[in-house]
Structure 1
């Protein structure tokens, strides 16, 4: 048996703290806490809701914790835990290049490798003789192939050929045979717990954020499996006529993706306008800029829509962002004049929330209702935030549109992130400078936007597009 011939020896243990780290986490925390309290647009409302006592208790708990931390990753986690008192997303802490260089020189983590080099031909022969199909075999992700072996009641995936700094035999993950727990090794060899596993119809496997497809024993992917693997791995904006009644459009991001989106929609415009159903797949589309979805809006239009605007927190630090916009060489004279007027208004009201638009709602009611598409299904889930959720609030106002999937991540009420670098040079911290005039009556943050059709766990994610297509076809 293959299992009896293989033994697992983790030949290199974690070499954390091989060289000392010098992160002053307490100083980073104190700076971040002050910056957030003085400048983040979401801080005042949460403080009002939860109260000063809860805030002080939470802050004291984190301060005690950070006082003992010297590791940059542990510090980052502690700072993020403090921020989650306010919301689950729409903030970001990123290690600076200087920090990454320090960690690289310290060799914090070493690769974990299998004990015995794999004879690929022999391995394939052994796999071919197995009586039933399991995870054992060859799998591909990110252009690399990994051999999954059953070793000591774990499925262990190791690299088949050298790739960059990763050498043959380096372990990608070790997964318990119940497919519920294990360890995934990041590109830096840092171990993280496996929190989510899906084994989809023998040919696809998701492990945390990874999606792998089986390449041996050889298996031809069904069209929906191939489609799912492509959307999870390629980062492409793509689309096509999926069947006689349905056009499929995949948008992975609204962040600086306008050119690709507009190009795709231009190429498909005649097809979309002559086909009854349109599916817009937004899985893992985390946000970006509102103008990126502008070309989608005419297909959705079924009558007047209303968009509630926002107000901006004016502080000296926040108002500096307008200098960046004004001095950007891509800013034309008209935009520059507009930004200067906004900055002047904000500087007159430091410490206040300012409505820079002079109105609370924009109503659009001059669109044309297209005969096709008649039905539009938008696929969403928990990894949708920010601009993607703004698009959904607009789309939901159309009688043509239904949302399918799981509720979104909920990160929209406070928005427009800007960044600041800690004086220690360890982290770049991003926080929000605006808040929606929808709140508190219609909050999205931490609650998300719920789909019209919840796709439960019995429907594999690789089958979601088929489900939506079948449902839309029933309505024609």
Structure 2
């Protein structure tokens, strides 16, 4: 979605609605701006002599518009629009992932901010013209009524009719949207009641992934969303699925490879399904590397921005339950280095080469399935995997969210959300090897309507 014009922002944010918790949006935006300018590892790259004028104009517009906003969700919409200047998926607004106790309090505040509306008769909605109608989500969990409901922010509201989830009740407003060119733009609240900025393409019977009731939906292949999974597809091909490299999934990944060790050591083909794997922690993929290895792995290092906020963020990670002892030691060493060099980029990881004692005979051929939801640590893994002569990447281009990484965060001043930013900067950037907003391309592209697992198996067994 493009940056909004002055006129559009004025219409959207001229005033707030009475039902919402109030906030000082100008102060919230100012705080976010200060946090990003001080702590974001990509700030100096993104705001330079060529972009300074545009950045200053962008700030002036957003700060002016923020003065009339008192609704927290609408304030976040403006802040997200401001953040898009940096074009970095590692700058995010979300929930508190550090303190469970604080998140419980914040969640209740967010729930209390959700508006409720009385629904008109469903027969009236079904009989309405245009985009108004009854829709279901792609997972068949929610039914919503999209109705005309104009306020200072929106033209339409998506109101929950029924829900298979206990997190949403009938009458609650899940979508707040305004017309764009062939799209509806605005807010969709996620399962944690956080307002996400969305731009939903409109067709006769669909609104993004929402499908009008009693019309046919295109159903692509269902991606296995289990944390990890394994299946012997044939005596020639083993299938392993990893949905996340999150540190909480590291033990599951290790167990998956141990449980499949016999098959890994005798089956010639492996399909490693990483679709929708948004990343996590690098140490999580270590059990996989010996099976990929054919020659020396080369990794380009990174630097970390040394500031008080970043030090505090990394200190929080060092106390995370389940973090391996060697990782805690490493992080504490980085923290000590940051404390001695505040205000600079300090070495976080040196350029490295990794070798194994031998090349494991099996599997002989490996296809890794990737898509546009693969990012961050998953892309770091793919950069290593591509160096193996055993590996072929298949599917679709990845997200391109890696050059600035290792997100850490801080609370907003007065609203129940967290701001996260990238604290590290890869030295790939200086070598002309950046992948942000570009992604990693597969050697073999697949279409959504294809059965990706069958395509991979067929390719391997030909």
TM-score between the two structures when normalised by the length of structure 2: 0.74
**Aligned CA distance change for structure 1 residues 373 and 25 (closer, same or farther; 3 Å):** same
Pair 1:442 & 2:433 matched: yes
**Aligned-partner SS, 1:419:** strand
Contact 2:398 2:440 in 1 (8 A): yes
Contact 2:184 2:202 in 1 (8 A): no
The within-5 A match list for 1:13-28 is 17=17, 19-28=19-28
Q: CA deviation at 1:34?
A: 0.5
Pair 1:391 & 2:381 matched: yes
Contact 2:110 2:416 in 1 (8 A): no
**Aligned-partner SS, 1:288:** coil
Pair 1:406 & 2:384 matched: no
* Alignment-derived partner of residue 471 in structure 1: 459
How far apart are the structure 1 equivalents of 2:17 and 2:441? 44
Q: CA deviation at 1:343?
A: 2.7
Unaligned runs of 5+ in 1: 1-15, 118-137, 149-155, 174-179, 199-204, 218-223
Contact 2:228 2:256 in 1 (8 A): yes
Q: CA deviation at 1:269?
A: 1.9
| 2:419 counterpart (424, 429, 443) | 429
Q: CA deviation at 1:280?
A: 1.2
Which digits, 9 at most, give the CA deviation of each residue in 1:113-147, with x for residues without a partner? 76259xxxxxxxxxxxxxxxxxxxx9997585979
* Alignment-derived partner of residue 44 in structure 2: 44
How far apart are the structure 2 equivalents of 1:295 and 1:400? 16
Q: CA deviation at 1:22?
A: 0.9
Q: CA deviation at 1:168?
A: 8.1
Contact 1:111 1:171 in 2 (8 A): no
| 1:317 counterpart (301, 309, 315) | 309
**Aligned CA distance change for structure 1 residues 243 and 195 (closer, same or farther; 3 Å):** farther
Pair 1:452 & 2:443 matched: yes
**Aligned-partner SS, 2:454:** helix
Q: CA deviation at 1:361?
A: 1.5
Q: CA deviation at 1:366?
A: 2.5
The within-5 A match list for 1:96-107 is 100-107=107-114
Deviates more, 1:340-349 or 1:38-47: 340-349
Q: CA deviation at 1:260?
A: 1.4
**Aligned-residue RMSD, C-alpha:** 4.3
Contact 2:109 2:416 in 1 (8 A): no
* Alignment-derived partner of residue 355 in structure 1: 347
How far apart are the structure 2 equivalents of 1:259 and 1:397? 25
Q: CA deviation at 1:425?
A: 4.1
Which digits, 9 at most, give the CA deviation of each residue in 1:140-170, with x for residues without a partner? 975859799xxxxxxx999778763667899
**Aligned-partner SS, 2:254:** helix
Q: CA deviation at 1:433?
A: 1.2
**Aligned CA distance change for structure 1 residues 352 and 139 (closer, same or farther; 3 Å):** closer
* Alignment-derived partner of residue 120 in structure 1: none
The structure whose Rg is larger is 1
Contact 2:293 2:360 in 1 (8 A): yes
Q: CA deviation at 1:340?
A: 4.4
* Alignment-derived partner of residue 251 in structure 1: 242
* Alignment-derived partner of residue 130 in structure 2: none
Pair 1:344 & 2:327 matched: no
Which digits, 9 at most, give the CA deviation of each residue in 1:12-44, with x for residues without a partner? xxxx93524312111111001001101111111
**Aligned CA distance change for structure 1 residues 439 and 332 (closer, same or farther; 3 Å):** closer
**Aligned CA distance change for structure 1 residues 19 and 372 (closer, same or farther; 3 Å):** same
Q: Aligned residue pairs: how many?
A: 411
TM-score between the two structures when normalised by the length of structure 1: 0.72
